[in-house]
Amino acid sequence: MKALIIIDVQNDFIPGGSLPVPNGDKIVPVINRIQDTFDLVIASQDWHPQDHVSFASNHKGKSVFDEIELHGKPQTLWPDHCVQGTQGAEFHPDLNTDKWETIFRKGTDKSIDSYSAFYDNGHLKSTGLTGYLKEKGVSEVYLCGLAGDICVYFSTMDALEEGFTCFFIEEASQALDAEAFKSLKKKLIDKGVQIVNSEFFL
């Protein structure tokens, strides 16, 4: 069985949001077009408390995109984004959610960030996504969404570690930093991830 995992296509990551991904809105029609080709469609949703540790506003004297050390790992400080219950945390209004079976929320623990839809950044706590997919009999996962170089990338890496055959849908993803994503894409390919576009599903 193959599953589509739609990562964080939320208003704050769309142009006009608090942490906009360039051309983030351009992927919405692509995602809508391919959903019917999958046995299972699920989504992840960034869902931060207002006092989340990754927000620059919660660190006196720090600025957005500064880097600190957190739990022994580097942590980028972000603008406040995808705060629980806000419009910024809602999915893009044009995104078709009818076929979605469920939504996995992440980033809910104020003390640690969570880029991946599978685990927090310290791999301390699972979201339960792996068990859900395996119980459904999923062997292939196709990942897309925002941002390609952060949350989609880390979700893909975790999906590989969990034993899934992974496909990265490039046309249905956009990166926050397009240059950085070039090297990350090479890492994915080297790990055995197949990079595909929407024509793959026709």
Whether the per-residue pLDDT at 53 is higher than 90: the answer is: yes
For 108-143, the pLDDT digits (tens) are 999 999 999 999 999 989 999 999 999 999 999 999
Average pLDDT over residues 59-75: 91
Q: Mean pLDDT of all residues in the chain? A: 95
Active-site residues, by number, are 8, 106, 151
Alpha-carbon span 34 to 61, nearest angstrom: 45
Question: What is the pTM (predicted TM-score) of this model?
Answer: 0.96
Whether the per-residue pLDDT at 84 is higher than 80: the answer is: yes
